[in-house]
A and B are shown apart, each in its own frame.
Chain A
Amino acid sequence: MAVSDRELAELVQLRPTQTLDAFKGVKKLPLEEFFTSGHRTCQGCESSLVMKMMVKAAGPRTIVLGSTGCMYVANTTYYSTSWVVPWMHTQLGSSGSAGLGTAAGLKALMRKGKIKDEPINVIAFCGDGGGADMGLSAISATLTHPDYNVLILMYDNESYANTDIQLSGSTPYGANTTFSPPGKLKRIMHHRWKKNMAGMMAAGHPTCRYVATVCMSFPVYSMNAVRKALSIGGPTFIHSLDPCPKGWDYDPMLSHELGELAVTTGIWPLYEVEEGVFRLVGKTRDIADGRLKRLPVRDYLLKQGRFAHFTEDDIAYFQSKVDETWEKWLVPGVIPFKKQIEEDRPPA
């Protein structure tokens, strides 16, 4: 006999969440800040903007766990914390476990009447090194638990930026990092393609109720993604692409523009997977629907010093790979199963 949804709900006993309606526009955002002054992030740091907007979207009844990385080291210098909400450090690979443990502790204490019963948001964040590399196993495990309300947010500045810009599994092809410097023999030291973290989380974790890719160049959408993830409950995942002046080597005033270009060149598709339902969002959707022409990746690459060693061939290769994600992938930019397989080998 099959287990009904109601019976599963009894097994899981998910706690109620806060109801966080979508913000209706940038002018309707609350003025109150929960991530304030006192941090030491670089000029033009988009990841610190992610922190500010993330917790503004979540509100005061929130606990934030932060794994090691820029957003730990730069934000919590002793005696000058920038966090207004309770915040705790967790180990580099532990964002998944930190969120799970915090949510489990709250759930047990509330059920047993040891603390006041109320919905408290739990957000665990990690960088791309802590998430897509070291923390993958713990995040994956957490996304399989239907029992706990926890959002894992990965801020992806595409390198281990806090330790001196070393390449991560999330660094784009060919980028110059301190672990992949172009040299006389090898112009391209880093020849791995960027890991598709959000797609992997969505495709591999049917229990995960909400996955989104965001970019703070589109702040209202990004904040509403946080609000949706926290409201929908269960384990959820958001992947944010954050231009990084130090790691990407560009003038800090270009941070927002680069975020936009990542989307309009089709390198960074914006999408949501809500209760298993997939939809492209914003300018990504415009590109897919033919309302917006996808810009050449050259416009994005050549603004960044990390690609300054690229030859025309390198740019062409990068463009061809991005084209492939749009033209040949089963879901553009998301699922790297190629449609060609069906076309080339029709069923007998």
Chain B
Amino acid sequence: MTEALATPPQKQLAADKTSLITGSEAIAVACKLADVDVITAYPIRPYDTVMQYVAKLVSNGELDCEYIVAESEHSQFEIVKHASAVGARVFCGSSGVGWMYAFEALTVTPALRIPMVAMVGNRALDDPGAFGVEHNDALAVRDLGWQLVWVDSAQEALDTALIAYRVAEDRRIFLPCAISCDGAFLTHSQALVKVPSQEKVKAFLPRYDRGDLLLHPDNPITVAPQVNEDWLMEIRRQTAAAMDRSPAVIREAYADFERIFGRSYGNPFFEEYQTEDADVVLVGMGTLSNPVRVAIRQMRQEGKKVGFVRVRWFRPFAAEELAATLGRFKAVGVIDRDFSLGSPYRSGVLATEVRAAMYPAPNRPPIVGFICGLGGREVTVPAVREMTESVYLAAEGTTQPGTKWIGLRE
């Protein structure tokens, strides 16, 4: 993260407070700051910690919302979907197969243009059971109109939740947004977080105004009728157009965020680490950025020019921009904390997307896919070094680009 510089806040607003909180708690605090109206909970590890914090905020009178413990994830997401339709700002979340249990609700939410904000505490899908992180849960909705963002620190979780409301509820967008926080590594890890003042949040985040789509006796509309082949394509295209407008709205939101909060995230879509002079780079999402950064610092001391690109926004995917960036290097290694069985080159989801993004680019360095850290297995510094070696070999043209599973017992 490039630290705050340049533009100071335009007027003097109350200062931030620093708190030692987890990623989950940071998002609960964001819900309070955003004055969310309806929140639904259902237990599954590891995301459910956010709802434990929310419940405390409600019972202590710090957050005024309808807080409903649902009887399943399907209901959890359906309840907030309908609350949003009558104009309420809503929050929800889940993990792993809980997210999958809600899949029907997740499908209709963007189609109904509901600007829900959800947290995914990324977790391996059953079976066999594993509490640890995998990204397949959130990635499962990648084709449906959800805006998907990955964060790697509690600070970024809080800030991104506020940005998510701002973007999702923008009338040009009206699409839901899911914030992915790696299970345990982020949901349960404490860090010092600058908690902004309510005043700043108010200046940043306008009220949710559902406008002509509001379901209310004063605006008696019929929502989601049967359209069949007559109209489905046109309506689907409208949803696609909203997603197409999302990058510009995301940029606006980050610029305003910097102006009001005095913290900058640079390029909203992906973060570059030591890439200026890099020969090869690794690409990944979420908290694996931590061991990757440590390994890069080590390798740099040994004279290896390695960089890292951390993808934040997976939907919308900044294809042109990412392709232009990655085209500068001799080879690219994409680290997936997910799998996509039977996919091209047996890669993970991110590597497949990156290859697709690179195809029209003038410079197309070799791309190596890595699958590692599944089920919450740690991505270690030696593992990062091993991956980097493979990327160097690809740069020299001595290996065929493909997919390697790293840290696997054979």
Binding site for B on A (CB under 8 A): 60-63, 65, 72-73, 76-78, 81, 83-91, 93-94, 96-102, 104-109, 111-112, 114-115, 120, 137-138, 140-141, 145, 147
A18 CB to closest chain B CB (Å) equals 11
A90 CB to closest chain B CB (Å) equals 7
A73 and B226 form a contact (CB under 8 A): yes
Describe A's contact surface by its main secondary structure.
Answer: mixed
Contact A105 B225, CB 8 Å, known A137-B71, A141-B71: no
Those of B38-96 within 8 Å (CB) of chain A:
38, 40, 64-66, 68, 70-72, 74-75, 78-88, 90
A97 and B75 form a contact (CB under 8 A): yes
B75 and A138 form a contact (CB under 8 A): yes
Known: A102-B82, A138-B72. 11 other contacts (CB 8 A): A63-B216, A76-B226, A83-B220, A85-B220, A88-B224, A89-B223, A91-B105, A91-B108, A94-B75, A108-B64, A138-B71
Tell me the complex Cα distance, A88–B219, Å: 12
* B217 at interface, CB cutoff 8 A: yes
- A86 partner, pick from B35, B70, B215, B225, beta carbons under 8 A: B215
Residue from the set A62, A101, A109 with the largest chain B CB neighbour count within 10 Å: A101
B86 and A83 form a contact (CB under 8 A): no
B75 and A96 form a contact (CB under 8 A): yes
* B359 at interface, CB cutoff 8 A: no
Contact A141 B87, CB 8 Å, known A87-B223, A97-B82, A101-B80: no
A104 and B68 form a contact (CB under 8 A): yes
B70 and A97 form a contact (CB under 8 A): yes
Chain B residues with Cβ below 8 Å from A100 are: 68, 75, 79, 82
A33 CB to closest chain B CB (Å) equals 13
Number of interface residues of B (CB under 8 A): 44
* B104 at interface, CB cutoff 8 A: yes
Contact A108 B88, CB 8 Å, known A98-B78, A101-B80: yes
Chain B residues with Cβ below 8 Å from A86 are: 215-217, 219-223
* B227 at interface, CB cutoff 8 A: yes
B207 and A114 form a contact (CB under 8 A): yes
A98 and B71 form a contact (CB under 8 A): no
- A137 partner, pick from B72, B80, B86, B221, beta carbons under 8 A: B72
A72 and B226 form a contact (CB under 8 A): yes
Tell me the complex Cα distance, A7–B75, Å: 29
Question: CB-nearest residue of chain A relative to B230?
Answer: A78
Contact A63 B217, CB 8 Å, known A77-B225, A88-B85, A109-B88: yes
Question: CB-nearest residue of chain A relative to B217?
Answer: A61
Residue from the set B72, B83, B231 with the largest chain A CB neighbour count within 10 Å: B83
* B37 at interface, CB cutoff 8 A: yes
Those of B216-270 within 8 Å (CB) of chain A:
216-217, 219-228, 230-231
Chain B residues with Cβ below 8 Å from A108 are: 37-38, 64-66, 83, 88
Tell me the complex Cα distance, A89–B84, Å: 14
Those of B127-181 within 8 Å (CB) of chain A:
none
Q: What are 26 A-to-B residue pairs whose CB atoms are below 8 Å? A: A63-B86, A72-B226, A76-B226, A81-B225, A83-B220, A85-B217, A86-B219, A86-B223, A88-B224, A89-B223, A94-B78, A97-B70, A98-B78, A98-B79, A100-B68, A100-B79, A101-B81, A104-B38, A104-B83, A105-B66, A105-B84, A105-B86, A108-B83, A109-B87, A111-B64, A120-B217
B222 and A101 form a contact (CB under 8 A): no
Chain A residues with Cβ below 8 Å from B88 are: 104-105, 108-109
Chain B residues with Cβ below 8 Å from A61 are: 217
A123 CB to closest chain B CB (Å) equals 12
Tell me the complex Cα distance, A89–B230, Å: 18
A137 CB to closest chain B CB (Å) equals 5
Tell me the complex Cα distance, A145–B68, Å: 9
A95 CB to closest chain B CB (Å) equals 10
B112 CB to closest chain A CB (Å) equals 8
Tell me the complex Cα distance, A97–B79, Å: 5
Question: CB-nearest residue of chain A relative to B223?
Answer: A88
Chain B residues with Cβ below 8 Å from A114 are: 37, 87, 207
Chain B residues with Cβ below 8 Å from A62 are: 217
- B37 partner, pick from A89, A93, A98, A109, beta carbons under 8 A: A109
Tell me the complex Cα distance, A120–B214, Å: 14
Question: CB-nearest residue of chain A relative to B70?
Answer: A141
Question: CB-nearest residue of chain A relative to B224?
Answer: A89
